[in-house]
Amino acid sequence: MKFVNVRNLRINASRVIRKIKQEDIIVTRRGKPVAALIPLNENMMDEFLKLRKSTRSQKNKTNYQIDRQIGAKVLKKKNINVAIVGATGVVGLELLKILAERRFPIKELRLVASERSAGKTVRFKGVRCPIKGLRGNSFQDIDIAFFCAGSSVSKTWGPVAVKHGAIVIDKTAAFRMDKNVPLVVPEVNGEILKNHRGIISSPNCSSIPLAMVLKPLHNYARIKRVIVSTYQSVSGAGLKAIAEMEQETKRILNRLPTKRSEVPTNVGITDYRLRKTKIFPHQISFNAIPQIPQSNAFCEDNYTDEEIKVIKETGKIMGNNSIKISATCVRIPVYHGHSESVNIEFARPVSPAKARQILSKAPGLQVLDNPGKQLYPTAVEAAGKDEVFVGRIRIDRSVKYGLNLWLVGDNIRKGAALNAVQIAELLLK
Ligand code: 2RA
69 and 98 in contact (C-beta within 8 Å)? no
Q: How many CB atoms lie within 10 A of CB 239?
A: 14
Q: Which atom of ligand 1 is nearest to the CA of 233?
A: 3
Task: Name the catalytic one among 205, 218, 329, 336.
Answer: 205
CA of 382 to the centre of ligand 1 (A): 17
Provide the pLDDT for residue 370: 97
At 317-329, the pLDDT tens digits run 999 889 999 999 9
Residue-range domains of the chain with CATH: 2-70 (no CATH), 80-203+417-428 (3.40.50.720), 208-254+273-411 (3.30.360.10)
Helix (H) or strand (E) holding 317: helix 305-317
Strand partners, 132: 112
CA pair distance 72, 44, nearest whole angstrom = 12
Q: Which atom of ligand 1 is nearest to the CA of 173?
A: 6
Provide the pLDDT for residue 273: 85
338 is catalytic: yes
Q: Average pLDDT in the 150-170 region?
A: 96
Write down the mean pLDDT value for the chain.
85
Provide the pLDDT for residue 275: 85
Provide the pLDDT for residue 36: 52
Residue 195 — very low, low, confident or very high, per pLDDT cuts 50/70/90? confident
For the cut 50, the answer to whether the pLDDT of residue 152 exceeds it is yes
218 is catalytic: no
CA pair distance 287, 300, nearest whole angstrom = 26
Q: How many CB atoms lie within 10 A of CB 288?
A: 11
The residue contributing the CA closest to ligand 1 atom 3 is: 236
**What does pTM read for this prediction?**
0.82
Q: Which atom of ligand 1 is nearest to the CA of 235?
A: 3
Greater confidence (351 vs 321) lies with: 351
Q: Which of 105-119, 248-262, 338-352 has the lowest mean pLDDT?
A: 248-262
**Ligand 1: lining residues by beta carbon, under 6 Å:** 204-206, 232, 236-237, 292-293, 306, 411
Residue 136 — very low, low, confident or very high, per pLDDT cuts 50/70/90? confident
Q: Average pLDDT in the 394-407 region?
A: 98
For the cut 60, the answer to whether the pLDDT of residue 21 exceeds it is no
Give 292-300 contacts, CB < 8 A, sequence gap 24+: 292/230, 292/232, 292/236, 292/237, 292/329, 292/330, 292/331, 293/237, 294/237, 294/241, 294/331
> Dihedral angle at the C-alpha atoms of 87, 89, 91, 92, nearest 10 degrees?
10
Strand partners, 298: 304
Task: Name the catalytic one among 196, 218, 336, 338.
Answer: 338
At 255-299, the pLDDT tens digits run 776 665 555 555 566 678 888 999 999 999 999 999 999 999 999
CA of 237 to the centre of ligand 1 (A): 6
CA of 217 to the centre of ligand 1 (A): 25
**Cα of 322 vs its chain's centroid, Å:** 22
Provide the pLDDT for residue 223: 98
The residue contributing the CA closest to ligand 1 atom 5 is: 236
At 206-231, the pLDDT tens digits run 999 999 999 999 999 999 999 999 99
Provide the pLDDT for residue 10: 37
Q: Average pLDDT in the 44-60 region?
A: 44
